Each structure stands twice: as structure tokens, then as C-alpha cells.
Structure 1
Amino acid sequence: MTTALSPVDPDSYRALMASHPGGVAVVTTDDGLAPYGFACTSWCGVSLDPPLLLVCASNTGSTLPVLAERGWFAVNLLHGEGRRAADAFAHRDAGRFSAVPWERSPATGLPLLPEDAHTAAECRVHRLDRAGDHTVIIGEIVRAEPLPGAGRVPLLYGMRTYATWPAT
């Protein structure tokens, strides 16, 4: 016997997602004139061969259309001292890139956050799939570069707070 079930309400969904921490990343791209980006914890590895990862972007944000048009993006994996970048990119503020130091990748020209991230993965869009109010972006990693923050512990977000792993 099956019972008709309705989806959980938004508050229950947020509580579920907040209950399990994830690494914080800032996804960046540009339109040839200006950089764009957003913070996310919705990213993960997909495939080793070819090397694919995925991120999820809001359908109403300003970054997704630029990323889809350009066909390239970077995933800046924030270290424990990168909270200023997480805070700057968590909100839809046009001044996000003025709040943190950034530079263009010599290989792709994508915006990178060398002071706030320990690693950056530069990706070519492999596939875009709309999923509810977000789009799943699968990217083929063409370059994975340790940044000056390499070796620092990653920044985590869960239970509505930032944290890091204890130093080993």
C-alpha cells in the first residue's frame, strides 16, 4: 500500500540541510568585463574519468546566466580563515569582489581567491540540469591548483555556523 506524501516544508528542508556540515566554496566566473560569484556548500566530486565535479546554483542569482554563457567556472575551496569570502559571497551584493582580494587565473582568466582559498578547481561546463529552484552544474576539471592557503584546514558550514576541523 502506498500513501500519498507531500514534500517537506521549507523549514524542515533547511533544518535537514543545516544538520550536516559541508565544505564552503566560492564559485566564480566572469563575462569578460566583470567577475561574478556565489558561496555554496552544495558541491561534490562526480567522476574520476573524466574528472567531474558538481555545484548547485540558484536559478535567480546573477552568476548562473553568466556561467552558462561563458561555459567556464572556478570552484575556490575556502580554508578556515576564509570566512570573509564566505560572508561576502553568501549575499547578493554587487560589491562582493571589492570585499576580498582576487586575481585572474593565468590559464583560464577565471577569478580566483588566493588569500581565502586553499585550492581552486577550474572547470569547463560539461552539463547543466535544472532541478527545482537551482541548476546542477557539472564541470570537467581542467586545472586544480593549490593556492597560497594550501595546507590550511577547510572552512565548514553546518548547524547555521562556520567551523573548521581541529588542527592535527
Structure 2
Amino acid sequence: MAAYPTGVAVVTAFDRELTPWGMTVSSLSSVSLDPPTLLVCLRHLSPTLDALVHNGSFTVNLLHDGARSAAELFSSGDPSRFDRISWEKPESVGGPHLVDDAHAAADCEVDHMHRTGTHVVVFGKVTRVVHRSAAQPLLYGLRQYASWPRSA
């Protein structure tokens, strides 16, 4: 699937102690408009998945084309990643919003999950979407980052 370009997002959640967790994903899809539902695929041993399960909610931060460093940070496993990036707690359910790196954020409540192989497919009902900027989305494919082409 490395040859298939896709958008880049960071899924975030809070654990029981309200510690923030997050990881970069490219396995993200819109499932339904009514009710609005997304799916994300997370490693079954991920601390982000554990936080999401215990909290029952998460946020999908859609990264803009200037956020490659955030994508790399959240795929690195760096335990201090939230100390190195600007974020805020959402108004209600969800995980941290990456205020400088996401052009939009979707807060979701966990609807159901399905484990397959090394990953868990998490279906989330979208409760709120925050649009932060009109920046171009960050893309990943062929093992490189790119930006959506700007129209002429």
C-alpha cells in the first residue's frame, strides 16, 4: 500500500488520568454521512488505542501540508511528543487538538471496534468538526510527503 497516496492524520485521546496520547495514521476513512462516522486503524498494542478505549472518545487531527514535523513526531514514539507541540483540550469529548498542525479536527465517540491481525478498526461517530485553516492537506505515498496541488 506504500504506492497508494493518502492523507495524513494524528489520532489523539486522553487516558483515565487525562494524559494525552497520539499517533500518526494514514488508515482513515469516512464511513457514513448519517450518522457522520469515521474509521481509523490503530495497532492493537498502542497506548493511544488503550486511551481511546478507556475514554470512549478520540480526535482525528487532519494535518496540513506544513505539518510534516508533527506527522514524524507522532510516528516516532517519542514519549514527550505533547511537550514539543501546541495542543488544546476540546470543549467536550475527544482528544487533544493539534492547533498549529491540523487544518481540521473531528471529535468522535467510539461506536464499535473490530480487531483484525495486528490492528483494531475503530469506528467513531463524529460529534463535532473544527476547521482551523484553509491550508492544503498533507499527503503521504511512495514513502514521501507531498501537498495537494494548488489550483491554477
When normalised by structure 2's length, the TM-score is 0.95
2:134 partner amino acid: G
Runs in 1 of length 4+ with deviation above 6 angstroms? none
Distance apart, 1:109 and its partner CA: 6.0
Q: Which runs of 5+ in 1 are unaligned?
A: 1-16
Q: Which whole-Å CA distance do the structure 2 matches of 1:166 and 1:22 have between them?
A: 14
Distance apart, 1:107 and its partner CA: 2.7
Q: Write out per-residue CA displacement over residues 98-154 of structure 1, whole angstroms, 9 at most, x where no aligned residue.
A: 22111111233631001000000000000110011000000000001102xx21100
Question: Which of 82, 90, 99 is residue 75 of structure 2 equivalent to?
Answer: 90
Higher normalized contact order (CA 8 Å, seq sep 6+, divided by chain length): 2
1:162 and 2:145 matched: yes
Distance apart, 1:88 and its partner CA: 0.6
Distance apart, 1:52 and its partner CA: 0.5
Query: 2:6 — aligned with what?
Result: 22
Q: Which runs of 5+ in 2 are unaligned?
A: none
Higher Cα radius of gyration: 1
Deviates more, 1:88-97 or 1:69-78: 88-97
Query: 1:113 — aligned with what?
Result: 98
1:164 partner amino acid: S
- Contact 1:61 / 1:92 at 8 angstroms: preserved in 2? no
Residue aligned with 1:119, SS: strand
Query: 2:27 — aligned with what?
Result: 42
- Contact 2:58 / 2:94 at 8 angstroms: preserved in 1? no
Q: Write out per-residue CA displacement over residues 70-98 of structure 1, whole angstroms, 9 at most, x where no aligned residue.
A: 10000000000011110110122211112
When normalised by structure 1's length, the TM-score is 0.86
1:88 partner amino acid: L
Query: 2:61 — aligned with what?
Result: 76
Residue aligned with 2:31, SS: strand
- Contact 1:84 / 1:100 at 8 angstroms: preserved in 2? no
Count of aligned pairs: 150
2:150 partner amino acid: A
Q: Give the RMSD, CA atoms, in angstroms.
A: 1.0
Residue aligned with 2:76, SS: coil
2:108 partner amino acid: C
Question: Which of 50, 53, 61 is residue 38 of structure 2 equivalent to?
Answer: 53
Distance apart, 1:61 and its partner CA: 1.5
Q: Which whole-Å CA distance do the structure 1 matches of 2:120 and 2:95 have between them?
A: 20
